[in-house]
C-alpha cells in the first residue's frame, strides 16, 4: 500500500509539472472578491495614414479605477470610475472650471459573469442624464450667447449626445475600453498562433457598422 501511495503521489506531481510547462495555452478567468480594487492607465492612440504616410498621430491617457462591489456564484458587479478631461477635450475656459466640477468624475456600474466576461451596464440611465446635461452646458459656455454658434455646436454635438441616449450606444461605443478589458475573460487562447477574425466596429454617426479585420496575438506572457 505504501508503494502504491508513493507512485500515485509521483504521478500527480508529474502531471502538475507537465501542465505548468505547457506554455502554448493561456486561460483568462476572474477570481475576484468584494472590495478588490485596481488602478489602470488607459492609453488611446489615434493614427491616420494617407498614401503610406502618417498624417495624424494623437494619444490620450487617463487613470481608471476598477472596484468589485458585489459578488455571487454566477456574477460580479463592478464599478469603473475615471476622470473626464473636459478642459483639454472641450477647451473649457479656466474661469468656468468650477461650473463643470460635477461632471469631472464618471462612475459606471456593470455586471459580469462568474468568469468575468461583460454582460451589461447597470446605471446607464444615470450616466445618460449626466452626459446629456454636460453636453448642454458645454454648448451654452462655448457658444458665448451667439445663437448661430449655439446652433452649430448643437448640430456638432448631436451624434455624441445620441450615443449617450441609449444603453446600446453607451455599451458599444462609450465603453470600448471596458469591452477590450473583459474580452478575453472565459476564453483559453493558443498563444503560438495569432487569432484572425472578422469584426464590425460600431458607427457612431449611425448607419451600418464598419467592417474590420481583427488580429489578436501575444508579445509575451507572465504566468
% of the chain residues with pLDDT over 70: 81
* Domain assignment of residue 43, yes or no: yes
Residue 99 or residue 170, greater confidence:
170
Residue 214 or residue 121, greater confidence:
121
So what's the pLDDT on residue 93? Answer: 65
Q: What count of residues does the chain have?
A: 223
* Domain assignment of residue 15, yes or no: no
* Domain assignment of residue 9, yes or no: no
Q: Give me the mean pLDDT over the 184-201 stretch.
A: 87
Instruction: Count structural domains, the chain.
Output: 1
Q: Give me the mean pLDDT over the 34-54 stretch.
A: 88
Using CA atoms, how far apart are residues 84 and 100, in angstroms rounded to an integer? 10
Q: How confident is the model at residue 2 (pLDDT cuts 50, 70, 90)?
A: very low
Q: What DSSP line would sit under 53-76, residue for residue? A: EEEEEEEEEEEEEEEEEEE-SSEE
| pTM for this predicted structure | 0.71
* Domain assignment of residue 71, yes or no: yes
Domain that holds residue 188: 29-216
* Domain assignment of residue 128, yes or no: yes
pLDDT for residue 220 is more than 60: yes
- Cα–Cα distances (Å) from 91 to 75, 139, 167, in that order, read 40, 11, 28
Using CA atoms, how far apart are residues 4 and 20, in angstroms rounded to an integer? 25
* Domain assignment of residue 53, yes or no: yes
Q: How confident is the model at residue 195 (pLDDT cuts 50, 70, 90)?
A: confident
Q: How confident is the model at residue 114 (pLDDT cuts 50, 70, 90)?
A: very high
So what's the pLDDT on residue 131? Answer: 86
- Cα–Cα distances (Å) from 18 to 5, 59, 138, 189, in that order, read 20, 43, 59, 18
* Domain assignment of residue 13, yes or no: no
pLDDT for residue 125 is more than 60: yes
Using CA atoms, how far apart are residues 14 and 23, in angstroms rounded to an integer? 16
Q: How confident is the model at residue 178 (pLDDT cuts 50, 70, 90)?
A: confident
* Domain assignment of residue 173, yes or no: yes
Amino acid at each position: 500500500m505504501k508503494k502504491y501511495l508513493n507512485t500515485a503521489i509521483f504521478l500527480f506531481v508529474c502531471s502538475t509539472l507537465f501542465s505548468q510547462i505547457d506554455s502554448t495555452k493561456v486561460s483568462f478567468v476572474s477570481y475576484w472578491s468584494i472590495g478588490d480594487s485596481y488602478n489602470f492607465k488607459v492609453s488611446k492612440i489615434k493614427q491616420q495614414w494617407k498614401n503610406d504616410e502618417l498624417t495624424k498621430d494623437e494619444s490620450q491617457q487617463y487613470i481608471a479605477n476598477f472596484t468589485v462591489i458585489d459578488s455571487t456564484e454566477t456574477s460580479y458587479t463592478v464599478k469603473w470610475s475615471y476622470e473626464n478631461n473636459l478642459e483639454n477635450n472641450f477647451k473649457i475656459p479656466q474661469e468656468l472650471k468650477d461650473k463643470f466640477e460635477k461632471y469631472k468624475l464618471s462612475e459606471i456600474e456593470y455586471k459580469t459573469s462568474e468568469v468575468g466576461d461583460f454582460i451589461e451596464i447597470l446605471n446607464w440611465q444615470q450616466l445618460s442624464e449626466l452626459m446629456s446635461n454636460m453636453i448642454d452646458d458645454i454648448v451654452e459656455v462655448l457658444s458665448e450667447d451667439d445663437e448661430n454658434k449655439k446652433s452649430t455646436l448643437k448640430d456638432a454635438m448631436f451624434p455624441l449626445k445620441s450615443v449617450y441616449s441609449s444603453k446600446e450606444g453607451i455599451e458599444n461605443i462609450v465603453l470600448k475600453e471596458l469591452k477590450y478589458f473583459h474580452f478575453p475573460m472565459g476564453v483559453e487562447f493558443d498563444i503560438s498562433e495569432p487569432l484572425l477574425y472578422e469584426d464590425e466596429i460600431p458607427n457612431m454617426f449611425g448607419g451600418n457598422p464598419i467592417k474590420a479585420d481583427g488580429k489578436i496575438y501575444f508579445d509575451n506572457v507572465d504566468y
